[in-house]
């Protein structure tokens, strides 16, 4: 009896989802394929290619936080948008806000106006605010959207901060190694040739590499660029993206960190949607479509299909390779108690602490490892260069 009720409820939710999705598609398409809602359509191509119209997430988080505060203190929506636009220093975002305010001024709702700018506002945001407008709880939903973006910006900031020092060390080390190979080693080559010294295999390999780099540096640069473009283009394909994401999840240390970050974002996003009043099926579909990892997106597709058939959320999650049993147990308790959104936020907080710890461990391991590898590489070059020096007459 319970499963039949859930199934009937699921069918109603699917119908509602289709209705909302149709509305969103129609609203977004009104802009026109390839057209830009900000600025002339002729400039859209090169602006998108140069990412001149890209709006960072932290700018959006500040916008939503300011808008939520103004709405909470009683400022009308239209006036609040214009005030935030005046205080926004990011030009693309300011233009978008002005266009949103203009659309509202002619009679569109906030969600309809936001849907005209998919390059700035995700479907998740539009859906939450669309439901909020129906329920008259716009201020609460604005705060939820702001908090969601702030949490994502915080996590990404911590990851970038942890990678900043190792990346700098790697870049400096590679630059020094290339300089030594291209300019220093050839000087020793001339000395050894004049002395007719028989070079060891290691020295011959290093000097051959140095000669190649010094003479064909442009070819090396082209090969690196070509490999980078080939990897980027293959990742953009569904099969390539799936293989890349699966490989990242299997990496030691990094894979565990990515799994925890994926669960963190899943819990945050699903909790935000449910607390914002979005039905469970629509929420799962949106979380699946916006999952950054294609492996998780595939598993969430199975979760969505099972819940659509009347299953409890925990049942398909038990078959997942990403979600650990402890996280699923927490979700099951929240689902049983009817407090799924609250439990998801607590789960997100728990995984936020684990992600912070994993980032610290990752940084503490990566920094000395990179220093060791770069030191070993430089020591190898020095040993290869100085080894024949001891074979010169009169040295020993």
* Buried/exposed code over 146-180 (b: 16+ C-beta within 10 A; e: otherwise): bbbbbbbbebeebbeebeeebeebbeebeeebeeb
Q: What is the pLDDT of residue 169?
A: 80
Among 84, 119, 150, which residue terminates a domain? 150
159 and 131 in one domain?
Answer: no
161 and 136 in one domain?
Answer: no
187 and 104 in one domain?
Answer: no
214 and 122 in one domain?
Answer: no
Question: What is the C-alpha to C-alpha distance for residues 129 and 114, in angstroms, rounded to an integer?
Answer: 9
330 and 315 in one domain?
Answer: yes
Does the model's pTM come out above 0.75? no
163 and 58 in one domain?
Answer: no
Question: What is the C-alpha to C-alpha distance for residues 178 and 287, in angstroms, rounded to an integer?
Answer: 45
Question: What is the C-alpha to C-alpha distance for residues 280 and 335, in angstroms, rounded to an integer?
Answer: 11
165 and 100 in one domain?
Answer: no
Task: Tell me the CB-side half-sphere exposure of residue 285, using CA atoms within 13 A.
Answer: 17
Helix (H) or strand (E) holding 126: helix 123-135
pLDDT of the chain, 396 residues: tens digit per residue:
333 334 344 444 444 444 444 444 333 333 333 333 444 344 444 444 445 567 888 888 889 989 989 988 888 989 999 999 999 888 999 999 999 999 999 988 888 999 999 888 888 888 888 888 877 777 778 888 888 888 888 888 877 777 777 778 888 878 887 787 777 777 777 777 777 767 788 888 888 888 887 788 888 889 989 998 998 898 888 888 889 989 988 888 788 888 888 898 899 888 888 888 888 998 899 888 888 888 999 999 999 999 999 889 989 999 888 899 999 999 999 988 889 999 999 998 899 888 888 888 887 888 788 888 888 888 888 888 777 777 665 544
- Cα 394 from chain centroid (whole Å): 61
- Burial level of 326, CB count in 10 A (0-12/13-18/19+)? exposed
- Which two three-digit tokens encode residue 282? 């629509």
Q: What is the pLDDT of residue 371?
A: 82
366 and 245 in one domain?
Answer: yes
106 and 228 in one domain?
Answer: no
Q: What is the pLDDT of residue 52?
A: 54
Query: Euclidean distance between the first and final Cα of the chain, in Å?
Result: 93
- pLDDT tens for 269-316 read 888 888 888 889 988 998 888 888 889 999 999 999 999 998 899 899
Question: What is the C-alpha to C-alpha distance for residues 206 and 200, in angstroms, rounded to an integer?
Answer: 10
112 and 45 in one domain?
Answer: yes
13 and 81 in one domain?
Answer: yes
Of residues 110, 235, 200, 174, the one with CA closest to residue 377: 174
Q: What is the pLDDT of residue 396?
A: 47
- pLDDT tens for 230-281 read 988 988 888 888 899 899 888 887 888 888 888 988 998 888 888 888 889 9
CATH number of the domain bearing residue 14: 1.20.81.30
Question: What is the C-alpha to C-alpha distance for residues 90 and 349, in angstroms, rounded to an integer?
Answer: 31
Question: What is the C-alpha to C-alpha distance for residues 209 and 311, in angstroms, rounded to an integer?
Answer: 61
Give the total number of structural domains in the chain: 2
Contacts of 176 (CB under 8 A, 6+ apart): 378
Instruction: Give the domain extent around 112.
Output: 2-150
Among 89, 117, 150, which residue terminates a domain? 150
Of residues 110, 102, 27, the one with CA closest to residue 67: 110
Phi, psi for 391 (deg, rounded to 5): -90, -5
Cβ atoms 338, 325 nearer than 8 A? no
Among 104, 134, 150, which residue terminates a domain? 150
Cβ atoms 116, 103 nearer than 8 A? yes
171 and 312 in one domain?
Answer: yes
């Amino acid at each position: 009896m319970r499963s039949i009720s859930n199934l009937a409820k699921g069918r109603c939710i699917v119908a509602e989802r289709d209705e909302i999705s149709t509305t969103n598609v129609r609203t977004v398409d009104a802009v026109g394929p390839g057209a830009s809602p900000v600025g002339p359509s002729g400039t859209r191509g090169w602006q998108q290619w140069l990412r001149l119209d890209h709006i960072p997430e932290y700018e959006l988080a500040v916008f939503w936080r300011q808008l939520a505060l103004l709405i909470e203190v009683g400022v009308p929506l239209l006036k609040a948008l214009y005030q935030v636009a005046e205080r926004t220093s990011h030009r693309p975002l300011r233009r978008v806000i002005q266009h949103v305010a203009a659309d509202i001024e002619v009679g569109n709702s906030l969600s309809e106006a936001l849907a005209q700018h998919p390059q700035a506002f995700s479907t998740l945001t539009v859906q939450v605010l669309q439901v909020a407008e129906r329920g008259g709880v716009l201020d609460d939903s604005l705060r939820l959207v702001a908090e969601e973006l702030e949490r994502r910006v915080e996590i990404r900031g911590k990851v970038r901060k942890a990678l900043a020092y190792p990346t700098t060390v790697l870049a400096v080390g590679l630059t020094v190694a290339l300089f030594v190979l291209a300019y220093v080693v050839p000087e020793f080559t001339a000395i050894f040739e004049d002395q007719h010294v028989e070079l060891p295999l290691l020295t011959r390999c290093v000097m051959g590499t140095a000669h190649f780099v010094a003479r064909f540096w442009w070819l090396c640069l082209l090969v690196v660029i070509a490999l980078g473009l080939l990897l980027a283009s293959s990742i953009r394909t569904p099969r390539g993206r799936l293989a890349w994401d699966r490989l990242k999840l299997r990496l030691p240390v990094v894979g565990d960190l990515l799994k925890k970050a994926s669960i963190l974002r899943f819990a945050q996003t699903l909790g935000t949607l449910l607390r914002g009043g979005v039905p469970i099926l629509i929420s799962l579909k949106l979380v699946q479509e916006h999952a950054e990892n294609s492996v998780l997106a595939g598993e969430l597709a199975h979760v969505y299909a099972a819940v659509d058939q009347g299953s409890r959320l925990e049942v398909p999650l038990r078959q997942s390779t990403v979600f650990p049993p402890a996280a699923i147990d927490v979700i099951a308790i929240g689902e049983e108690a009817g407090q799924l959104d609250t439990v998801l936020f607590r789960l997100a907080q728990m995984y936020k602490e684990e992600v912070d710890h994993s980032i610290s461990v990752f940084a503490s391991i990566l920094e000395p490892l990179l220093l060791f590898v770069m030191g070993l590489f430089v020591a190898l070059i020095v040993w290869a260069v100085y080894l024949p020096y001891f074979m010169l007459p009169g040295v020993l």
